[in-house]
Amino acid sequence: MTDFGAALEAERTRCEHRLASLRDELESVIEGSRWTIDDDEHDPEGSTIAFERAKIAALIDDAESEIREIDAADSRLAGGTYGVCDRCGTDIPAIRLEALPAARRCVQCVRLR
């Protein structure tokens, strides 16, 4: 039997570490760009600073969204609805919740979209 409360907390901790790392990386890119006068928009050797900033910002958005999903799953756990598909109302199999602790839907409903 999986302790889903502990699994959610571990997942949240992992996401928070990833988020902190991404924020540090973004700050480093921003700080590094302040000291360069290169025209990176026309540099055939690599990606632009703007692209790097946008990529990291998107990853930050993803991590923040994942934390919100984990928090919502925690609320469902506290409210007694954790593990119940929010579309069809059937139980979400434990194996799916072990793989995706914040899952809101069963596999059949995910396939239907």
pLDDT beyond 70 at 51:
yes
The pTM of the full predicted model, rounded to 2 decimals, is: 0.82
Domain membership flag for residue 108: no
d(CA 38, CA 101): 45
Residue 22 lies in a domain: yes
- For 61, residues 6+ apart whose C-beta sits below 8 A from its C-beta are none
Does some domain include residue 93? no
Structural domain tally of the chain? 1
User: What is the C-alpha separation between 74 and 80, in angstroms, rounded?
Assistant: 10
Residue 105 backbone phi and psi in degrees, to 5 = -130, 155
Instruction: Report if residue 50 sits inside a domain.
Output: yes
Total residues belonging to the chain: 113
- The band of 45, judged by pLDDT with boundaries at 50, 70 and 90, is low
Q: How confident is the model at residue 38 (pLDDT cuts 50, 70, 90)?
A: low
pLDDT of residue 103: 96
* Domain extent for 20: 4-81
For 52-101, how does the pLDDT look when each residue is reduced to its tens digit (9 = 90+)? 899 999 999 999 999 999 999 999 999 999 999 999 999 999 999 999 99
